[in-house]
Amino acid sequence: MEFKSITPHLGAEVSGIDLSEPMGSNTFNALREGWLKWGVLVFRDQKLTRDQHVALGSKFGKLHVHPMYKDQKDHPEILKVATNADSAYTAGEGWHTDVTCDEYPPMGSMLYVTQTPACGGGDTLFADMYLAYDLLSERMKNMLQGLTAVHDGALPYVGSYKTTPPEGGYPRHEHPVIATHPDTGKKLLYVNSGFTTRIKGLRPNESRALLDMLFRHIESTPKLVARVDWEPNTLAFWDNRCTQHHAVWDYYPESRYGERVSIVADTRPAA
């Protein structure tokens, strides 16, 4: 395998590997090491069946079943990411980390895109949450350390996607505002505009002002971002613990289609 960086701190394109082939331990370890180093890995010209996609994700751990589609009969681990001229929205349009409303959010996600817009567009932006933390002032880091935020699935799934909540509602859990990556030991910013609703222990106006500042910090700092341009049969594998992403819907009325599997983390986000 060869890793070619997309930016100096985030993202790499990987060549010299066929993800549909059996993977030995040396290849797996090299792939995992590259994933931890670069945060986002991009594999082009891959031909995967749905079973192969599921098997690939399963090498890294138990696969996640999305709370919006937990009753899906055929391959419940696969989340379809489809947008066309009739879509009311595109999944992931807005900065977010996948499903942080869960007690154990996914540690990683693999999106396999097979159809891209004929007109171009449809890129995905990824942002480095290690660097987002590093760029904060020392006083801000000290203030945020020890704070806890609420992550609520109703925010996107009801508020944005207009779905009917299941019995008992969508998941809602609390995670540290500043987390430590369980594998690298590095600190990172762990709030996102997709799921984070408030910071505990602050008055509502204080919480809103602080979250809005952090969200603006992420969305308005270009140096955080690596941009992935999709081609048919491209798979991206990102570390969901230290990145955020934003799907750009700039291709209406053209279509884009992909399928995603996510791997459940075996530890909760921790300070």
What is the set of active-site residues?
Answer: 96, 98, 245, 260
* Number of Cβ atoms within 10 Å of the Cβ of 120: 12
Q: Which of 228, 24, 202, 231 is nearest to 124 (CA)?
A: 228
| Cβ neighbours for 52, distance < 8 A, ≥ 6 positions apart | 19, 20
Mapped onto helix, strand or coil, the DSSP state of residue 55 is: helix
Q: Count CA atoms closer than 13 A to 78's CA, side-chain side.
A: 18
Q: Which residues pair with 207 in a beta bridge?
A: none
DSSP track, 113-177: EEE--TTS---EEEEEHHHHHHTS-HHHHHHHTT-EEEEETHIIIIIIT-PPPPTT-S-EEEEES
CA R_g for the chain: 18
167 burial level (CB within 10 Å; 0-12, 13-18, 19+): exposed
